[in-house]
């Protein structure tokens, strides 16, 4: 695993850093906390207690999001149909060898992950789980067309590092897999991603931080096609975009990533977007940051 470096985050949980992408899998503030705040809590899993749900986990990675999901559903006796997409088997191998990671979850999570690693599949009376190894842009086509998802987790490396899973074309395929009242959840607050999801017909919400700090204005995004406000978790910090965030969608940062045939390289996707930004008359992101007192490191466009 020479291209993957172990990282101990501040909440005591372990993550990895990709040398190739030059980015950590999780925030250094805490891998476990990031999963809980940015994915599990916004999922509002209590609404599925004793019921069944379909989940698509895109960029499975070390498995934190699926593990946290499974852990919660085990406790509330829900039924799960899970598909996971992941290009690299090594992060799951690492998770299965890390005692600290495994101790975070019910023992059954380990058995499920071991089965996914060995045979790409697990099934018992409550859970049916499959992992499809390879490029998500291709493997999403292997999911049966009539399978629609109540939750879709999108947790790839940031758009500027791995634009392949944040393009209009790929996100359109993802949105097509969403149930009418399903939630698409991502840690990203990228203007390009949010604007694309809105243009694809979803209503966009921001996951607000649990503390007041200008440089941490959002913990991510929840996109919903048909919102039933009375079904949103009443105490969770989910809000409509602020005026600052709405204005972010009017800047050059909102210009989308494009990958017409879903086979472009990272460099080609970024180059094409940069050329489009240079010729655009939209407000510069620099001026937007200046107006709102933002630092460049406080967002990823």
In a domain, 20, yes or no: no
CATH of the domain at 210: 3.40.50.150
CA distances from 57 to 72, 120, 246, 271 (A): 15, 14, 27, 28
> What pLDDT is attached to residue 218?
86
* Residue 48, domain member (yes or no): yes
Does a structural domain hold residue 6?
A: no
Q: Is residue 1 in a domain?
A: no
Structural domain containing residue 115: 32-298
Whether 10 is covered by a domain: the verdict is: no
Instruction: Give, as one character, the DSSP assignment of residue 167.
Output: B
Instruction: Please report whether residue 19 resides in a domain.
Output: no
Note whether residue 159 is domain-resident.
Answer: yes
Average pLDDT per consecutive 10 residues, the chain (301 residues; last block may be shorter): 86 95 92 95 93 97 98 96 98 97 97 98 97 98 96 97 98 96 96 98 89 68 80 70 95 97 97 97 93 65 47
Does 5 reside within a domain?
no
The sheet with strand 127-133 has its strands ordered as: 121-123, 127-133, 79-86, 52-58, 149-154, 178-186, 221-224, 203-207, 238-240
What is the reported pLDDT for 105?
98
Count of domains for the chain: 1
Q: Count of residues for the chain?
A: 301
- Calculate ∠ Cα 46-193-179, nearest 5°: 40
């Amino acid at each position: 695993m020479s291209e993957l470096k172990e990282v101990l985050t501040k909440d005591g949980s372990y993550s990895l850093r990709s040398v190739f992408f030059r980015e950590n899998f999780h925030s250094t503030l805490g891998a476990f906390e990031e999963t809980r705040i940015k994915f599990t809590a916004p999922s509002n899993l209590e609404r599925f207690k004793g019921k069944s749900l379909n989940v698509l986990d895109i960029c499975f990675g070390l498995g934190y999001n699926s593990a946290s999901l499974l852990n919660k559903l085990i406790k509330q006796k829900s039924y799960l149909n899970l598909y996971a997409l992941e290009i690299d088997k090594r992060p799951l191998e690492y998770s299965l060898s890390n005692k600290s990671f495994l101790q975070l979850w019910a023992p059954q999570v380990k058995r499920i992950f071991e089965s996914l690693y060995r045979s790409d599949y697990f099934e018992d009376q409550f859970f049916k789980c499959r992992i499809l190894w390879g490029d998500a842009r291709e493997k999403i086509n292997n999911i049966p067309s009539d399978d629609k998802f109540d939750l879709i987790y999108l947790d790839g490396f940031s758009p500027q590092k791995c634009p392949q899973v944040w393009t209009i074309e790929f996100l359109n395929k993802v949105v097509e897999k969403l149930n009418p009242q399903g939630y698409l959840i991502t840690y990203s607050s990228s203007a390009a991603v949010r604007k694309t999801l809105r243009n694809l017909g979803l209503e966009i919400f921001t996951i607000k931080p649990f503390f007041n700090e200008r440089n941490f204005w959002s913990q991510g995004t929840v996109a919903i096609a048909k919102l039933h406000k009375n079904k949103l978790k009443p105490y969770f910090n989910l809000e409509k975009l602020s005026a600052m965030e709405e204005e972010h969608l009017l800047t050059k940062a909102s210009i989308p990533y494009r990958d017409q045939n879903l086979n472009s390289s990272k460099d080609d996707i970024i180059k094409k977007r940069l050329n489009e930004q240079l010729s655009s008359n939209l407000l510069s992101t620099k001026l937007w940051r200046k107006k709102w007192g933002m630092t460049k490191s406080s967002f990823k466009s």
